[in-house]
A and B are shown apart, each in its own frame.
Chain A
Amino acid sequence: MAHPIKITPPLTDADVEKLKAGDKVLITGVLYTARDAAHKRLMELLDKGEKLPFDIKGQLIYYVGPTPAKPGQVIGSAGPTTSGRMDAYTPRLLELGLKGTVGKGQRSADVVEAMKKHKAVYLAAVGGAAALIAKTIKKAEIVAYEDLGPEAIRRLEVKDFPAIVVNDIYGNDLCKIGMEKYRKAV
């Protein structure tokens, strides 16, 4: 298999254009976390015309709700959650310049279209590999919504965080390609 592509957010259009469905990537730098409850609050801010708690331009959002850190740990176990639950919110964030999302599972047709339109990618990490993934997280701080506990928005600093490109900006979908390739007629 090909060597992984190293990426460091904030990403530009040119960075995203290079990524193709099925590519392995290693992310180094900043990832912002957000999941169901945080997304809902972000939408409420946008509805009121207010600013988001972090500059979303060029960034990646990682869908994760980690376990609490034990004393001396940066973060607890921190694998991806199902991305489809955030489908309703994602196009609006892509419109504001979000360059990608990291989670697990498939995205809706609306999100795929929005990714093509705004030049953004969807990456998947291995669901359930939470203890392994946590080792790539070097720093974690809450930037908003501390009251949401595991659902608070965190700014993570990661080194060689492993992920796979599922949807690229060209309309390719790793899950569809992969399933077609390994399907056997019943």
Chain B
Amino acid sequence: MRHISTSEITSKVKELCIRAACELGSDVIFALEGFRGKEESPLGKEVLDQIIENAHIALKEDAPMCQDTGIAVFFVEVGRNAKLDGKLEDAINEGVRQGYNEGYLRKSVCHPLTRKNTGDNTPAIIHTKIIDGDKVKITIAPKGAGSENMSRLAMLKPSQGLPAIKDFVINTVKEAGGNPCPPIIVGVGIGGNFEKSALLAKEALLRNVGTPNSERELDALEKELLEKINNLGIGPMGFGGRTTALAVHIKTMPCHIASLPVAVNIQCHAARHKEAVI
């Protein structure tokens, strides 16, 4: 067994919270620049320029790229030979508390009914997996509400098949319009069950933009959906244009013979995720 101190996890989480808020991934910047070159709308080009400039300012000045620094979502892989000296959940929440406070990030978490702010952006949403090895891998993907609110889930009938999946994805993006801050990244989860499809959609967003899907059929489906989405004309910020989405990412898993769950998790252009291995 390898001993890992929870205080190390806390300090890593704190650092990840701040870095995720201020450093947009180079994959996203590269995609934004690529689409900027192809954008036909003059206003759309200006919007993309502002988004790219904003990302550079955020990086240079250690400023959050977006004021919605999100609810903190974690994907944690714990090696089965790693022995923690305390509770993983507590260590992560303490890291969030410190990161959002000391990093001057916005505390955006509240009671669902009274709407009273918890004051420190906790509790975080934590998904944990036990894997082989003796390391702990922590991935943070803070999620703003503008895009999260536009996400949808459908329990389709198996008889409806692929055409209905495509329609559901495209209609979800169409209905969202300019609300989720396009250009967006569209995470799609197909299969599993009700909650698993949503989790697959969210996990799909962790893949770097520009990397192909490892399954050939899914890669083709992603490209087809991306083209159809960009043909909607919604454009940057919904002002009209050819750049509505930078990518479509799909994850699948087997499901019940009577079910066809499909979840669409919309991600704004501030597609933040950072990881660390302890």
Residues of chain A at the chain B interface (Cβ within 8 Å): 1, 22, 36-37, 64-70, 76-79, 81-82, 84, 104-106, 124, 126-132, 134-135, 148-150, 162, 164, 166, 174-175, 177-186
Contact = CB atoms under 8 A, between A and B. Distances in A.
Given A67-B106, A164-B239, A131 B178 contact: no
A134 to B, nearest CB: 7
Contacts of A69: 104
A182 B179 contact: no
Nearest to B46: A1
14 contacts: A37-B115, A66-B106, A77-B65, A104-B146, A105-B178, A105-B180, A129-B51, A131-B64, A162-B50, A174-B240, A175-B238, A182-B233, A182-B240, A186-B228
A36 B115 CA distance: 10
A149 B238 contact: no
A128 B181 contact: yes
Given A164-B239, A178-B41, A77 B178 contact: no
A36 B181 CA distance: 18
Contacts of A78: 67
B249 interface: no
A64 B64 CA distance: 14
B12 interface: no
A157 B240 CA distance: 30
Interface of B: 40-44, 46-47, 50-51, 53-54, 57-58, 61, 63-69, 104-108, 115, 117, 119, 145-146, 149, 177-181, 228, 231-235, 237-242, 268-270
A146 to B, nearest CB: 13
B237 A104 contact: yes
Given A128-B54, A131-B65, A182 B241 contact: yes
A127 B180 CA distance: 8
Contacts of A64: 67
A26 to B, nearest CB: 13
B86 to A, nearest CB: 29
Per CB-CB distance, the 10 closest pairs between chain A and chain B, nearest first, are A178-B240, A183-B233, A105-B179, A182-B233, A127-B181, A129-B54, A132-B54, A131-B63, A184-B231, A77-B64
Given A106-B177, A150-B107, A182-B241, 20 more contacts: A37-B115, A65-B68, A76-B63, A84-B179, A105-B238, A126-B237, A128-B66, A128-B268, A131-B65, A134-B63, A135-B57, A162-B50, A174-B240, A179-B177, A179-B240, A180-B233, A182-B233, A183-B232, A185-B231, A186-B228
Nearest to B269: A128
Given A124-B237, A175-B239, A131 B54 contact: yes
A130 B64 contact: yes
B66 A79 contact: yes
Nearest to B183: A128
Contacts of B117: 148-149
A1 B54 CA distance: 21
Contact of B235 (A77, A179, A186): A179
Contacts of A181: 41, 233, 240
Given A77-B66, A128-B268, A178-B241, A184 B233 contact: yes
Contacts of B269: 128
A76 B67 contact: yes
A184 to B, nearest CB: 4
A178 B235 contact: yes
A135 B235 CA distance: 25
A177 B235 CA distance: 11
Nearest to A166: B239
A122 to B, nearest CB: 12
B38 to A, nearest CB: 12
